[in-house]
Amino acid sequence: MKKVEFSPSLMTMDLDKFKEQITFLNHHADSYHVDIMDGHYVPNITLSPWFIEEVRKISSLPISAHLMVTDPSLWVQKLIDLKCEWICVHAEVLDGLAFRLIDQIHDAGLKAGVVINPETPIETIFPYIELVDKITVMTIDPGFAGQRFIESTLDKIVSLRKLREDKGFQYVIEMDGSSNRKSFKRIDAAGPDIYIVGRSGLFGLDDNIEKSWEIMTRDYEEMTGKVLNYT
């Protein structure tokens, strides 16, 4: 069985326990997910490249930046300068920018990702799909934590897996939104490579991050019937 990867969404962590939580997760998570919102593409303003700098001081795990911004060209170089391993941009703002930004990221030796909103068909990214390293399927509307899980979005994961197998594409598939005990079984059936876990799936389960991780992994195993190699 292929190893399932978990990427904690640091937007939902307890910032009062920043060092404690990152120190623990450094030995358990596969990567970190950092949401960067500009207050225009979505109404919230959250984390920033500065936050990634702070994480870098105490972690060597790969970091995936999820750009929920109107003009990604204003942000990509900042993230390249930080050597952010994954730079992921929404398909909805990539018209006229996709090839240039993907090349810019790849030329820096980093990985380019594209994010698809619940209403966005996967056909939108077909012109450049063979160039991307990761596709993130939003299973909630972007911009807010704790929303209702949109089950129909899982069909995109299934379609992207089949397309990858048929065409020999190399992208990994990630899901983002309401990944928790209630949805683990349905998500697992669709088969993404990476689960982003936030407040409902990890950080909100207990005040202690070690206990939260224990609950999260147990929830996954109980709901899917699969055994994880996490401690």
Q: What is the pLDDT of residues 160-174, one digit of tens each?
A: 999 999 999 999 999
Question: Which CB contacts under 8 angstroms, 24+ apart, belong to 79-82?
Answer: 79/49, 79/52, 80/104, 80/105, 80/108, 80/110, 82/49, 82/52, 82/53, 82/56
> Could you give the CA distance from residue 138 to residue 115 in angstroms, rounded to a whole number?
7
**What mean pLDDT is predicted for residues 185-211?**
96
pLDDT digits (tens, 9 = 90+) for 86-127: 999 999 999 999 999 999 999 999 999 999 999 999 999 999
Q: For the chain, what are the domain ranges?
A: 5-224
35 as an active site residue: the answer is yes
Which residue ranges are tagged as binding site for substrate? 66, 143-146, 176-178
What does the pLDDT look like over 10-20, one tens digit per residue? 999 999 999 99
Task: Say how far apart CA 98 and CA 75 lie, in whole Å.
Answer: 14
Residue 101, SS3 per DSSP: helix
Integer Cα distance of 120 and 93 in angstroms: 12
Is residue 220 within 8 Å of residue 228, measured between CB atoms?
Answer: yes
Instruction: Look up 176 and say whether it is catalytic.
Output: yes
pLDDT band at residue 52 under the 50/70/90 scheme: very high
Q: What is the pLDDT at residue 146? A: 57
Q: 139 near 178, Cβ under 8 Å?
A: yes
In three-state secondary structure terms, 66 is: strand
pLDDT reading at 36 higher than 80: yes
Residue 44 has pLDDT above 80, yes or no: no
**Which CATH entry fits the domain spanning 5-224: 3.20.20.70, 3.40.50.2300, 3.40.980.10, 3.40.190.10?**
3.20.20.70
Which tens digit of pLDDT belongs to each residue from 137-146?
A: 999 887 666 5
Token pair 């911004």 is found at 69
Q: How confident is the model at residue 3 (pLDDT cuts 50, 70, 90)?
A: confident
Known binding-site positions for a divalent metal cation: 33, 35, 66, 176
Express each pLDDT in 116-137 by its tens digit. 999 999 999 999 999 999 999 9
Count CA within 13 A, CB hemisphere, residue 212. 24
Contact 117, 94 (CB under 8 A): no
Residue 231 predicted with pLDDT over 60: no
Please say whether the beta carbons of 93 and 120 come within 8 A.
no
SS3 192: coil
Of 35, 38, 133, 193, the catalytic one is: 35
Mean pLDDT (the chain) is 94
Catalytic residue among 38, 133, 176, 193: 176
175, pLDDT greater than 90: yes
Handedness of CA 9, 10, 15, 18 (dihedral sign): positive
